[in-house]
């Protein structure tokens, strides 16, 4: 997928920094937008020795070749080992780290101590920046506070509020928004994703999440949930909890409880939008039903229900009895509707 064409305004903003590069840029935005891909494309375009019009990398020069093979001497990528895909990993091997380690930051010293090899610019991409614990972040901070000349840090983050404030303040922030839905849907469809518009809406506009949802078998359980939520007549919370609990257990970890809570959160967002006369954001095909349901619920009750879901979302991170958890979740939801039904 061509992430540059999905994020033209962010790309142009990045390119406008070219002539006076800061020491560190922090690209932020919701998960699955393509921030990392854009950071890499930007790094490649800066290192390219014969950039094309619009400062795009040429893909042909020696620097581009090195970059594509992952061995450009003036480029470093810091990311958790768990993100480095290793299909050959042996069974029972130590689990790969979810964190960027302090040794990875220390390893940069050698990188800084030798002169740059080519264009006189060094680039380090940190993805995602929130994968640094406090010690690691402090080690990076030292480097950011005493910047090496001709060095650019590109930090990528889904959750910038989890970063040390001192790290954030050392970086120039580049917000990345949701790409235009029509362009993104066309790009996903061109990549062979069936039903792209529906997945994209459910993903809140993030192409990466849309692909994930489609690939993770979300179709089945989500279909079931939506069918029950839109069915006329009373919602039967215990029955629905039992059905979904079975799906969760059968999925052997592929379907997490938090995904179910997130779906309910999106459902409530759409109900809230409908209550305010606005079009649905996530569940597009169910627009009419959602509007009808919204008419039966006082708006302040929706706000309270949403707050409750935020708590449930946190609880869902803990190991718990999934059946009981789901029963609570759907009983809350039904009470939301029911109180209004005289």
Q: Whole-number minimum distance, CB 5 to Zn ion, in Å?
A: 19
Tell me if 195 sits within 8 A of 214, measured CB to CB. Answer: yes
User: Which one among 1, 56, 61, 247 touches Zn ion, defined by CB under 5 A?
Assistant: 61
Stretch that binds Zn ion, among 63-71, 165-173, 240-248, 323-331 (CB under 5 A): 63-71
Examine residue 128 and say whether the peptide bond preceding it is cis (omega within 30 degrees of 0).
yes
Stretch that binds Zn ion, among 51-59, 80-88, 289-297, 329-337 (CB under 5 A): 51-59
Residue nearer to Zn ion on the CB measure, 51 or 207: 51
Q: Is 56 in the site for Zn ion (CB under 5 A)?
A: no
Residue nearer to Zn ion on the CB measure, 14 or 290: 14
- Strands 75-78, 122-126: parallel, antiparallel or unpaired by DSSP? parallel
Integer angstrom CA distances of residue 241 from 86, 221, 226: 37, 12, 13
Q: Whole-number minimum distance, CB 108 to Zn ion, in Å?
A: 24
Residue nearer to Zn ion on the CB measure, 64 or 248: 64
The DSSP element (H or E) to which 124 belongs, if any, is strand 122-126
Separation of alpha carbons 49 and 20, rounded Å:
18
Using CB under 5 A as the binding rule, the residues of this chain from 113 to 142 that contact Zn ion are: none
Q: Is 48 in the site for Zn ion (CB under 5 A)?
A: yes
The binding track of 3-42 with respect to Zn ion, each residue x by CB under 5 A or -, is: ----------------------------------------
Stretch that binds Zn ion, among 60-68, 113-121, 181-189, 247-255 (CB under 5 A): 60-68
Q: Whole-number minimum distance, CB 58 to Zn ion, in Å?
A: 3
User: Which one among 26, 27, 64, 131 touches Zn ion, defined by CB under 5 A?
Assistant: 64
Q: Whole-number minimum distance, CB 115 to Zn ion, in Å?
A: 21
Q: Whole-number minimum distance, CB 59 to Zn ion, in Å?
A: 6
Q: How many amino acids of this chain bind Zn ion (CB under 5 A)?
A: 5
Long-range contacts of 77-85 (CB under 8 A, 24+ apart): 77/40, 77/124, 77/125, 77/127, 78/104, 78/105, 78/124, 78/125, 78/126, 78/127, 79/125, 79/126, 79/127, 79/128, 79/131, 80/131, 83/127
**CA angle centred on 213, ends 80 and 238, rounded to 5°:** 115
Q: Whole-number minimum distance, CB 152 to Zn ion, in Å?
A: 17
Residue nearer to Zn ion on the CB measure, 59 or 239: 59
Stretch that binds Zn ion, among 15-23, 47-55, 150-158, 205-213 (CB under 5 A): 47-55
Residue nearer to Zn ion on the CB measure, 61 or 226: 61
Q: Whole-number minimum distance, CB 36 to Zn ion, in Å?
A: 20
User: Which one among 1, 21, 56, 58 touches Zn ion, defined by CB under 5 A?
Assistant: 58
Separation of alpha carbons 76 and 56, rounded Å:
20
- Report helix, strand and coil shares of the chain as percent, to nearest 5: 55, 10, 35
Q: Concatenated DSSP letters for 291-321?
A: HHHHTTS-HHHHHHHHHHHHHHHHHTTS---
* Closest to 199 in 3D by CA, of 187, 190, 212: 212
Q: Is 209 in the site for Zn ion (CB under 5 A)?
A: no
* Closest to 171 in 3D by CA, of 182, 157, 183, 185: 157
> Which residues of this chain interact with Zn ion, rule CB under 5 A?
48, 57-58, 61, 64
């Amino acid at each position: 997928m061509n992430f540059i064409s999905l994020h033209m305004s962010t790309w142009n903003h990045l390119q406008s920094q070219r002539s006076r590069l800061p020491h560190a840029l922090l690209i932020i935005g919701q998960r699955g937008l393509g921030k990392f891909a854009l950071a890499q494309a930007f790094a490649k375009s800066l290192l390219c020795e014969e950039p094309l019009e619009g400062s795009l990398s040429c893909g042909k020069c020696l620097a581009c070749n090195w970059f594509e093979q992952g061995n450009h001497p003036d480029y470093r990528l810091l990311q958790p080992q768990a993100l480095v895909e290793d299909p050959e990993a042996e069974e029972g091997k130590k689990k790969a780290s979810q964190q960027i380690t302090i040794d990875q930051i220390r390893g940069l010293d050698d990188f800084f101590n030798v002169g740059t090899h080519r264009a006189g610019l060094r680039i380090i991409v940190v993805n995602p920046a929130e994968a640094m614990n406090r010690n690691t972040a402090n080690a990076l901070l030292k480097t950011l506070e005493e910047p090496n000349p001709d060095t650019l840090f590109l930090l990528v983050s889904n959750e910038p509020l989890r970063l040390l404030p001192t790290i954030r303040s050392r970086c120039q922030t580049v917000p990345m928004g949701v790409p235009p839905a029509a362009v993104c849907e066309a790009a996903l469809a061109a990549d062979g994703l069936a039903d792209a518009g529906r997945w994209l809406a459910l993903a809140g506009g993030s192409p990466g999440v849309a692909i994930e949802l489609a690939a993770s078998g979300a179709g089945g359980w989500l279909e079931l949930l939506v069918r029950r939520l839109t069915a006329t007549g009373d919602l039967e919370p215990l029955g629905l909890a039992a059905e979904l609990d079975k799906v969760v257990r059968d999925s052997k970890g592929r379907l997490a409880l938090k995904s179910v809570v997130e779906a309910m959160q999106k459902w409530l967002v759409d109900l809230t939008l409908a209550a305010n006369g606005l079009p649905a954001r996530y569940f597009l095909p169910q627009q009419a039903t959602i509007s009808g349901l919204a008419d039966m619920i006082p708006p302040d009750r929706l706000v309270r229900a949403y707050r409750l879901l935020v708590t449930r979302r946190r609880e869902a991170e803990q190991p718990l009895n999934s059946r009981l958890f789901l029963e609570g979740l759907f009983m809350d939801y039904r009470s939301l509707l029911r109180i209004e039904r005289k």
